[in-house]
A and B are shown apart, each in its own frame.
Chain A
């Protein structure tokens, strides 16, 4: 990480601890009738460590400026796939109740394996069909139900 990123993170953390002091603790702790002492104590610790982190970040920024070797932010490209995974997993989790476990998991596995660079459609398809079905039947056998949708209803209809 370059020094500028470290400074930004430290600033965000200090901002969060201020938000906690002046908004979250009064509205989410004191207003609910709980003692603010312990949350405030931890928040003070966060503030102190964030300030120390900021100080260290400033020192490292100065050093980097002297050496003129600031990073160029090349890490942005790297985050595309993790972000895509986050979006796909989020969509899967949110759609699970509407589409049911089998269909949503099938769709998730098809897309996620492509994100991970799968080139074989055949293997991807086998995994995407087999894994949700196996998990579904294991849970069914244990009398523990996963979110249901059209596919589960069809299976229930067939198996009774």
Chain B
């Protein structure tokens, strides 16, 4: 424990420079703007910024991306409150109570509850990350290749089995994972350095670039999806005029804190736990926390009609996911969410491989990241978010989507080109963007594809190393209790999930259809 505090102190000295704080502020502001625009998520903004982080200092780049992520996590609640249009999918649960509260003239109350809950959830999750990551990293260092391969398989299975709502979804999810693993095999074989699936094209020797793939699958495919909805983004009657604005007094703040405290604590812990599991994501956490708050409330609760707990619970839950989703990344080197995958990319761009080794060899960087995470919640909320609410309102009302999305495509293409200054990459980018669009049309989820694409080389290296160590015998995967346990868990999770769907049971982590990826 003493070590953690000492490392945190060193991390603070290393990370808390004026530039890094500036990066948080800029990032949070970008995240708020991006998160408030429907159709553009914070992750999209992170992805667009990612290729430009090549020339930045490591912690500046990480702080910038973290700021965007955290800013985006809060921002969705602004438009959800003011216009009943969630800027991000996770804010959809917040809108159920924040918009009715706004309509009653309590705009300030609603936005402040969301802000406080975000800070609370984020902070609890940050501390959970700080105190659980070091012991987990030590355990991770003792894992051999077969255990790591089994862990990756389990993570990929968990992504699908927890989120699929039908058996069809589960099979589609697995196909998505397999296609991601296949794409990762393009290029030089990482053991023998011979070429695979390159069709004689030398540009493919190094494989399909990681940054390009993420931008194509997340941002470009999103633009194609938005092209279908031309004219769909109108405020219509959403932005109803509120004749009377009720001030938010300190007495009311105190009362709200008393009412919400239990839900804040529970939702922060639930969000943190769900976030630490690969693939769950903030949207699911927000709906689970909202459901829990509603379930545990007394009969006189006003859920759906502006109950403060209906805002606090999902906001604390979805913001708690932000930090805890980094736990698998910093401890095992396995990104558990798309945002964590982008952070993984940012580390790679800076020449660092996230995981237990980085934590042991360069603790100042990891603990610096932890300190920045803690600072981001407070700094972002009080320096950026509060003054930015009116800015977001203006941007949201005046944004011209017909010019915005073509502009996004230009940013994507320039970002991809700037990575290697290679026009060939743009062709792959375009092809992958369309593949992403088709996959989404087919109802195949993109995040499992991306996670599999990132984890593919690690899975292959460890599987083949394990087989080399055992002279080709697959028995190595059942000899270690950890490997065997993880494989049994993966199979059991799949079996349980299929059985549940056969019986027609709904997912316990139920998210409305329109808010899924």
Contacts and interface: CB of A to CB of B under 8 A. Distances in A.
Interface of A: 1, 5-6, 9, 13, 24, 28-29, 32-35, 37-39, 42-43, 45-46, 49-50, 52-53, 56-57, 60, 75, 78-79, 81-82, 84-86, 89-90, 92-94, 96-97, 105, 108-109, 112-113, 115-120, 123-124, 127, 131-132, 135, 139, 142, 144-147
A93 B443 CA distance: 28
Interface of B: 55, 167-168, 171-172, 174-175, 178-179, 181-182, 185, 189, 191-192, 194-199, 220, 223-228, 230-231, 400-403, 405-407, 409-410, 413-414, 417-418, 421, 423, 426-427, 429-430, 433-434, 437, 441-443, 460, 463-464
A131 B410 CA distance: 9
A50 B192 CA distance: 30
A81 B192 contact: no
A86 B464 contact: no
Contacts of B437: 82, 86
Contacts of A112: 405-406, 409
Contacts of A132: 410
Nearest to A144: B418
Q: Chain B interface secondary structure, helix, strand, loop or mixed?
A: helix
Contact of A146 (B172, B417, B442): B417
Nearest to A39: B185
Contacts of A49: 171, 174-175, 178
B426 A35 contact: no
Given A127-B407, A135-B414, A81 B227 contact: yes
Contact of A93 (B182, B192, B227, B423): B423
Contacts of A92: 413
Contacts of B228: 78-79, 81-82
A6 to B, nearest CB: 7
Given A1-B443, A38-B463, A109 B407 contact: yes
B198 A28 contact: yes
B403 A118 contact: yes
Given A56-B167, A85-B224, A117 B174 contact: no
A139 B224 CA distance: 27
A96 B417 CA distance: 11
A93 B413 contact: yes
B423 A97 contact: yes
Given A85-B224, A97-B423, A116-B402, A35 B189 contact: yes
Contacts of A32: 194-196, 198
Contacts of B418: 139, 144
B197 A50 contact: no
Contacts of A29: 196-197
A127 B426 contact: no
A53 B423 contact: no
B185 A38 contact: yes
Contacts of B199: 28
B195 A123 contact: no
B227 A85 contact: yes
Contacts of B185: 38-39, 42
Nearest to A126: B403
A50 B405 contact: no
Given A42-B178, A82-B227, 8 more contacts: A35-B464, A38-B464, A52-B171, A81-B228, A90-B430, A93-B430, A123-B400, A144-B421
A145 B427 CA distance: 19
10 contacts: A1-B441, A34-B189, A35-B464, A42-B178, A53-B172, A75-B441, A89-B409, A108-B406, A135-B410, A135-B414
A85 B406 CA distance: 9
B430 A60 contact: no
Contacts of B430: 86, 89-90, 93
Given A42-B185, A123-B400, A34 B192 contact: yes
Nearest to A82: B224
Contact of B195 (A34, A89, A105, A144): A34
